[in-house]
Chains A and B, each alone.
Chain A
Amino acid sequence: MDIFDLTIHELHDELMHRRISSVEAARAMLERIKAVEPQVGSFITVTPERALADAAAADLRIGAGDAGVLTGIPLAFKDIFLTEGIRTTCGSRILNNFIPPYSATCYEKLKEQGVVLLGKLNQDEFAMGSSNESSAFGVTRNPWDTTRIPGGSSGGSAAAVAARQATAALGTDTGGSIRQPASHCGCVGLKPTYGRVSRYGVIAYASSLDQVGPLTRDVTDCAIMLGAIAGHDPGDSTSVNVPVPNYRAALAGGVKGLRIGLPKEYFISGLDPDVQKSMDAAIETYRRLGAEFVDISLPHTDYAVATYYLIATAEASSNLARYDGVRFGHRTEAAPGLLDMYTRSRSEGFGAEVKRRIMLGTYALSSGYYDAYYVKAQKVRTLIMQDFTAAFEAVDVMLTPVAPTPAFKIGEKVNDPLQMYLSDIFTIPVNLAGTCAMSIPAGFSAHGLPVGLQLIGKPFGEESILQTAYAFEQATEWHLRKAVIL
């Protein structure tokens, strides 16, 4: 088996037994990146020198007996995480040359554990997109079929894990940006409860929805990564001070007697037959394992996408105001006055999708429209939250598809933003409700494309969905299939 095929926990065993050094692992990953990057395009920036330095330091720690489970593990980060001294673009031309002077809290936490930084991963510009096609640094291709999109906005993260370019990766999820690409690329992706992981140093798209989470090869790795990044951060007022459980220790609990809800609004007639087939099979598997199924309803699901595109764009229009060409980032070559400097810098720096969302959000917040759009959307958001609270009285977790279809073709939806937005209908409500959910591999389409299954948990119920996911993983082999990159 190649080093790049190992999971975090497998590689950790190898490192602990000194069968592989961290430097060897880093070299293997860097070679793998070099080999498949032309076909996949997961990275915006590869940091080989940094990776080898991190690995050498990790080897010292391992030698000194001071290693944790993540020490020496080669990881890559969505380019939305600030990494001190290393270019951080957020997939945008406006941050083309931005070298941050500080690092995101979650990166700092992983750094303290001794992880190895391989580089920064491609994404939709400012995390706005579901296909990774809005990146200013070129598209990322799905390792299972390079004519298809990897999903987005953490498309680079999912593709890198699926293509074995990183042992695991970190992404962000505002409306499905971890789960949807994880589903399309056949990896495990978890969006924690809002407030579970610090957002400090993570470039904001929609502050009330953004959450950081891992993309990994299996559920165990997911538990390891989540445990390392979760927890209260005094630098993020919205991070919650709830103790971090030992997620890995809770994995093996099984699903006997577990009440799994099937929200009827998520099993619609338009669902792709391959996706439907995988869901049916998954339900059967869980039944066999002793879980009970309960039909439930989340009645306001229909309004989720519209609500999301008002709240997320409103927040984005304000969050992206700081990219004005004054202090950092792209500034237009020459402008006759201040207003020209602003408009030209921003026009040149932002891509079409980002501009579209800034305009949508600006409109939603405008005087005279605020009540009809933003305030109304907040009210609907409350109703959606209440849907989940009510439904969770009868069930422990929910099971749904992640996306209505497997990965679509590159270019297929680029000119139809509404169709693109609808690819997130099953993931968006979870962000609006602020709770946790994950995607796990649950089958393949007739074309050999991965299909993911979404498990939704109660707020701070990450242990419960990880446990449910682990039981499925133990009973199936979908996660063991490997993409053949052509």
Chain B
Amino acid sequence: MKYQPVIGLEVHVQLKTDSKIFCGCSTQFGAEPNSQTCPVCLGLPGALPVLNKKVVEFAIKAGLSTNCSITPRSIFARKNYFYPDLPKGYQISQFEDPICQHGWLDITLEGQESKRIGITRIHMEEDAGKLVHADVSALEDGSGVDLNRACTPLLEVVSEPDLRTSDEAVSYLKQLHRIVTWLGICDGNMEEGSFRCDANVSVMPVGSETLGTRAEIKNVNSFKFVRQAIEYEIQRQIDLIDDGGTVVQETRLFDPNSGTTRSMRSKEEAHDYRYFPDPDLVPLVIGDEWVERVRRELPELPEQRQQRFINLLGLPLYDAGVLTASRALADYFEAAIAAGGTAKALGNWIMGEITRTLNDTGTTIEMCPVTPVRLAEMLKLIDNGTISGKIAKTVFDEMWKSGKKPLLIVEEQGLVQVSDIGAIEAVIDEVLTRESGQVAEYRSGKDKLFGFFVGQVMKASKGKANPALVNELLLSKLNG
């Protein structure tokens, strides 16, 4: 039988606010354990939560950017369960009436029509602390609780079960990741857990309208793992059904080392969270005025900018996608365009040399030593024939190191391209004389040697000869 996988994602987005969601403690990552705590986030008796307005603002931003409606009166609820990293014995979250509802994101896979993925809800909640175990920390023995992370603000973004393949799931996830980092509400760091994903996966016979029993897969914290976990889980469920078994509703844990999932707890063992409205927090009333103010302050969103790059600059979908992967990258690109570069050439340089060098040196685009203006200037030098594309690489490296203007580098190092026909012919003659044996071979039909002659000429000119002229002149001399 053929099966149709059905996937829904629940994404936890850690918000980049300075202080926690219900108290004034810092959210800074990596501080001394329990140094960023107070009676509220320690869950001491008598302590009461006070909502951080910034969190609400960030949630509205996320909601508007994912086409959600903003709930005029949303409610905080308590999710009750015991665990040592949960100081109050309950997590303050939202259950009924979350802040954002009924949104969607469009995803476009290469060579396919775009597809709309529903977003059921986005709600605000506090994070738990974390347990520290002796074997992996400075702790002498036993386990400790670090509550620095407790009460850190999170958004949980819940998709509809609209995804059908791991490709779609990854595409949706990347789209969401791009939006929240673009808005500046999340640092997007998946390794530190700032953006983490649980996947609900089920399969049903193709053509069926009844969804199969789903498994919830926890702990999938990179795009690569999301793909792996989903693909593994789909196959596991199909194999199970084909062997006459049935899928049970359960929570499964993804193991990144083996690329497999294993059962964590069954439906019977599932918690009864006993959600109820938190009496310590009044209903959150958000007037139209507030929503409209946030809407006015929203930046142009990545999807819109990507479309603009395609429509107005004529970039291919792939290039437009890469260049809008982050707001800073897109800003860089647009600044270079504004400085007079052509879109295609700039795009190639940014996606190629710049991205490569950034990666190699561990630099972010914001800190890129080659400014957009310098990059555009350098491309102009290529365009007007001052330097060749090959020499541009040398100029680029020098700009990266010294930050000097490209023209200055070209002048200082004598890198101006040689387009003087006489000069180039002289070099060609010299090479052909020296390599007379090879010339004879070429003329007897060994065409492949042409590249060899080009290389020799370029080498002899220290790379400065105009490559187009070299080709043209070499061809006529050899064939003439």
Residues of A at under 8 Å CB distance from B? Answer: 81-82, 88, 90, 95, 98, 100-102, 104, 199-204, 206-208, 234-238, 314-315, 317-318, 320-324, 326-328, 338, 342, 362, 365-367, 370, 374
Judged by a CB distance under 8 angstroms, whether B51 is at the interface is yes
Given known contacts A318-B90, A322-B45, A238 and B274 CB-to-CB distance under 8 angstroms: no
Judged by a CB distance under 8 angstroms, whether B78 is at the interface is yes
Judged by a CB distance under 8 angstroms, whether B82 is at the interface is yes
Given known contacts A200-B48, A321-B80, A322-B45, A370 and B276 CB-to-CB distance under 8 angstroms: yes
B window 48-65: CB within 8 A of A? 48-51
Report how far A314 CA is from B42 CA in the complex, Å. 22
Given known contacts A100-B45, A101-B44, A314 and B276 CB-to-CB distance under 8 angstroms: yes
CB within 8 A of A237: which of B43, B47, B281? B281
Report how far A326 CA is from B146 CA in the complex, Å. 12
Main secondary structure of the interface of A (DSSP, over half): loop
- List, in ascending order, chain B residues with CB within 8 A of A201's CB: 39, 46-47
- List, in ascending order, chain A residues with CB within 8 A of B48's CB: 199-200, 235-238
- List, in ascending order, chain B residues with CB within 8 A of A342's CB: 82
Report how far A328 CA is from B37 CA in the complex, Å. 15
Additional pairs, 18, CB under 8 Å, beyond known A199-B46, A238-B48, A326-B87: A81-B46, A82-B46, A88-B45, A100-B45, A104-B46, A201-B46, A203-B45, A204-B280, A206-B279, A207-B280, A234-B50, A236-B48, A237-B280, A238-B279, A324-B89, A327-B87, A365-B80, A374-B276
Q: Is the CB of A321 within 8 A of B88?
A: yes
Report how far A321 CA is from B42 CA in the complex, Å. 13
Q: Is the CB of A102 within 8 A of B274?
A: no
The interface size of chain B toward A, counting residues with CB under 8 Å, comes to: 28
Q: Is the CB of A338 within 8 A of B280?
A: no
Interface centre among B46, B50, B88, B89 (most CB of A within 10 A): B46
Q: Is the CB of A318 within 8 A of B282?
A: no
Report how far A98 CA is from B46 CA in the complex, Å. 13
Judged by a CB distance under 8 angstroms, whether B472 is at the interface is no
Given known contacts A324-B89, A327-B145, A98 and B45 CB-to-CB distance under 8 angstroms: yes
Q: Is the CB of B274 within 8 A of A365?
A: yes
B42's nearest neighbour on chain A, judged by CB, is A327
B46's nearest neighbour on chain A, judged by CB, is A201
Q: Is the CB of A238 within 8 A of B282?
A: yes
- List, in ascending order, chain A residues with CB within 8 A of B84's CB: 324, 326, 338
A200: shortest Cβ distance to chain B, in Å?
5
A202's nearest neighbour on chain B, judged by CB, is B46
Q: Is the CB of B47 within 8 A of A200?
A: yes
A373: shortest Cβ distance to chain B, in Å?
11
A-B contact pairs, 14 of them (CB 8 A): A100-B45, A102-B39, A102-B44, A237-B50, A237-B51, A238-B281, A238-B282, A321-B89, A322-B44, A322-B45, A322-B87, A323-B45, A328-B44, A362-B274
CB within 8 A of A322: which of B50, B89, B274, B282? B89
Residues of B at under 8 Å CB distance from A? Answer: 39, 42-51, 78, 80, 82, 84, 87-90, 145, 272, 274-276, 279-282
- List, in ascending order, chain A residues with CB within 8 A of B87's CB: 322, 326-327
A240's nearest neighbour on chain B, judged by CB, is B282
A320's nearest neighbour on chain B, judged by CB, is B89
Report how far A260 CA is from B39 CA in the complex, Å. 44
Report how far A102 CA is from B87 CA in the complex, Å. 17
Report how far A327 CA is from B144 CA in the complex, Å. 10
Q: Is the CB of A327 within 8 A of B39?
A: no
Q: Is the CB of B45 within 8 A of A95?
A: yes
Report how far A163 CA is from B274 CA in the complex, Å. 44
Report how far A236 CA is from B84 CA in the complex, Å. 26
Report how far A323 CA is from B82 CA in the complex, Å. 10
Report how far A100 CA is from B44 CA in the complex, Å. 8
CB within 8 A of B282: which of A88, A104, A237? A237
- List, in ascending order, chain B residues with CB within 8 A of A202's CB: 46
- List, in ascending order, chain B residues with CB within 8 A of A326's CB: 84, 87, 145
B83's nearest neighbour on chain A, judged by CB, is A338
A81's nearest neighbour on chain B, judged by CB, is B46
B145: shortest Cβ distance to chain A, in Å?
7
Report how far A342 CA is from B83 CA in the complex, Å. 9
A80's nearest neighbour on chain B, judged by CB, is B46
Report how far A366 CA is from B84 CA in the complex, Å. 22
Q: Is the CB of A318 within 8 A of B39?
A: no
- List, in ascending order, chain A residues with CB within 8 A of B282's CB: 237-238
CB within 8 A of A324: which of B42, B51, B82? B82
Report how far A235 CA is from B280 CA in the complex, Å. 11
- List, in ascending order, chain B residues with CB within 8 A of A315's CB: 276, 279
Q: Is the CB of A203 within 8 A of B82?
A: no
- List, in ascending order, chain B residues with CB within 8 A of A320's CB: 89
Interface centre among B45, B88, B274, B281 (most CB of A within 10 A): B45
A336: shortest Cβ distance to chain B, in Å?
14
Report how far A157 CA is from B319 CA in the complex, Å. 74
Q: Is the CB of A367 within 8 A of B49?
A: no
B145's nearest neighbour on chain A, judged by CB, is A326
Q: Is the CB of A90 within 8 A of B274?
A: no
- List, in ascending order, chain A residues with CB within 8 A of B47's CB: 200-201
- List, in ascending order, chain A residues with CB within 8 A of B88's CB: 321-322
